[in-house]
């Protein structure tokens, strides 16, 4: 039997047309596809995606920030195939299985602090809903039902279901649905792009922390939790901030009896240079939300980790006092095995250390980008790079995406912010390709 790769039994244009007729694509004005064609992907290998015409693209944004160890990773593929022979999925109420138990134990061992109780869902937004509900419910069980408000950072993104959108502050996602959302205070962001001239990132972060303190001094009695994206505000355009903010936020939340929810859905699993972003501030949240890279980016899986103190408040003879939240695919066995394989790779390949060398290499070759006349605020945190492009083009993001494809690079700017979030298996040659291609993109548009 012969299998011919990259020559599928359909043409690219057929697949594009069928997709536009039958698939409502996410985060997309479908009419724009009258101008911009869809890219029909048929396979992937390492950092590369291959389309139906045989073109390849370097996946510089890890397929929406999820992929850690490349496409078709042999270790993760093997783990999923092995699990497939055993049990693909079983409900997690009344049942348990080895992959979900082992994953919970291993996450507990590597997470900051003492987050020994792991609750599962299938996507990031659901993890946020769970953390918000658990926090509120905890205070209710403690006889403080008035603690039902949430605060988040200006420009934060936490997903797009209604609860998650309530604590999100990205206008394009939020404004249309504002009448459906719960009020939420967005306290000043520590993102240093907004610092005054001459003000250091650290001083700016401390100033933002003072604003948080002033808010909670007045409103802590009505506040269940502060939720934030630690160190990097992704959807806001990879806004980066000094870890001192997290230290101060932890102290302030403790002082005012407010939970701290760390949304590490995007930044967890090594993105910021440490396994978790919270590690850089040496703090532990009350709730840690994980998804995206949790399964190596392979399968939909999310988790909310919390403390004994929270868990014990729900532990009672009364069913109604339990956390009755559920999702059909909670703790999916295939996704848990993918996650375990991903954790194996972290250990086997000493990924956190090797990423430091890779990041240093990319920084060493990025000087022409950082000093490009159109580039502002070139910045790096761990395995994330970002910069703003000086342009009047309202269609910049779409044009940059198209120009990127011509250079065989998948770039998907957030407004005028171009960023790289490559899979960690990227090698030096591929980093050269990425930087040189991006320079050509900037010169082309």
Ligand X SMILES: *Cc1c(COP(=O)(O)O)cnc(C)c1O
Tell me which residues touch ligand X (CB under 6 A): 123-125, 128, 157-159, 229, 234, 263, 265-266, 291-292
Q: Find, among 244, 236, 158, the residue nearest to 193 by Cα.
A: 236
Cβ proximity to ligand X, 147 vs 158, nearer residue: 158
User: How far apart are CB 359 and ligand X at their closest, in Å?
Assistant: 20
Whether the CB-CB separation of 69 and 76 falls below 8 Å is answered with: yes
Whether the CB-CB separation of 111 and 276 falls below 8 Å is answered with: yes
Cβ proximity to ligand X, 104 vs 233, nearer residue: 233
Cβ proximity to ligand X, 123 vs 169, nearer residue: 123
Helix (H) or strand (E) holding 149: strand 149-153
Which residue has the CB atom at the shortest distance from ligand X? 124
User: How far apart are CB 12 and ligand X at their closest, in Å?
Assistant: 27
**CB burial readout 66-98, b (16+ within 10 A) else e:** bbbbbbebebbeebbeebeeeeeeeebeeeebe
User: How far apart are CB 292 and ligand X at their closest, in Å?
Assistant: 6
Quote the strand ranges of 46-116, DSSP E: 48-51, 56-59
DSSP secondary structure letters along 159-222: -SSHHHHHT---HHHHGGGGGGSPP-EEEPP--GGGSPTT--HHHHHHHHHHHHHHHHHHHGGG
User: How far apart are CB 335 and ligand X at their closest, in Å?
Assistant: 12
Cβ proximity to ligand X, 336 vs 369, nearer residue: 336
User: How far apart are CB 64 and ligand X at their closest, in Å?
Assistant: 7
Cβ proximity to ligand X, 229 vs 388, nearer residue: 229
User: How far apart are CB 185 and ligand X at their closest, in Å?
Assistant: 18
Cβ proximity to ligand X, 157 vs 433, nearer residue: 157
Helix (H) or strand (E) holding 136: helix 124-141
């Amino acid at each position: 039997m012969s299998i011919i790769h990259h020559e599928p039994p359909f043409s690219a244009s057929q697949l594009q047309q069928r997709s536009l007729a039958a698939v409502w694509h996410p985060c997309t004005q479908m009419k724009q596809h009258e101008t911009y064609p869809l890219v029909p992907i048929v396979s992937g290998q390492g950092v590369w995606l291959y389309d139906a015409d045989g073109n390849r693209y370097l996946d510089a944004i890890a397929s929406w920030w999820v992929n850690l160890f490349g496409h078709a990773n042999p270790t993760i593929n093997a783990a999923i195939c092995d699990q497939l022979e055993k049990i693909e999925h079983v409900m997690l109420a009344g049942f348990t299985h080895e992959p979900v138990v082992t994953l919970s134990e291993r996450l507990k061992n590597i997470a900051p602090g003492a987050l020994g109780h792991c609750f599962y869902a299938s996507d990031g937004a659901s993890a946020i809903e769970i953390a918000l509900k658990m926090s509120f419910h905890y205070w209710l069980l403690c006889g403080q039902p008035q603690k039902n408000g949430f605060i988040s950072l200006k420009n934060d993104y936490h997903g797009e279901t209604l609860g998650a959108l309530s604590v999100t502050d990205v206008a394009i996602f939020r404004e249309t649905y504002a009448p459906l959302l719960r009020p939420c205070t967005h306290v000043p962001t520590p993102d240093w792009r907004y610092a005054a001239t001459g003000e250091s990132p650290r001083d700016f972060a401390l100033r933002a922390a003072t604003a948080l303190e002033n808010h909670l001094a007045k409103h802590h009695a009505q506040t269940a939790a502060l939720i934030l994206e630690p160190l990097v505000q992704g959807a806001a355009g990879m806004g980066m901030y000094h870890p001192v903010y997290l230290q101060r936020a932890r102290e302030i939340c403790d002082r005012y009896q407010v939970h701290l929810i760390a949304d590490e859905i995007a930044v967890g699993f090594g993105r910021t240079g440490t396994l978790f972003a919270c590690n850089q501030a040496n703090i532990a949240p009350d709730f840690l939300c994980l998804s995206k890279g949790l399964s190596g980016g392979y399968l939909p899986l999310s988790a909310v980790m919390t403390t004994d103190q929270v868990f014990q408040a729900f532990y009672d003879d009364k069913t109604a006092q339990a956390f009755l939240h559920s999702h059909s695919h909670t703790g999916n066995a295939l996704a848990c095995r993918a996650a375990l394989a991903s954790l194996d790779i972290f250990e086997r390949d000493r990924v956190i250390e090797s990423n430091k060398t890779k990041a240093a290499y990319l920084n060493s070759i990025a000087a022409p980008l950082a000093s490009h006349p159109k580039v502002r605020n070139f910045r790096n945190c761990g395995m994330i790079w970002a910069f703003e492009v000086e342009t009047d083009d309202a269609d910049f993001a779409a044009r940059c995406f198209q120009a990127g494809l011509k250079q065989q690079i998948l770039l998907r700017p957030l407004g005028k912010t171009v960023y790289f979030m490559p899979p960690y298996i990227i090698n030096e040659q591929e980093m050269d390709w990425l930087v040189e291609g991006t320079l050509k993109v900037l010169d082309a548009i």
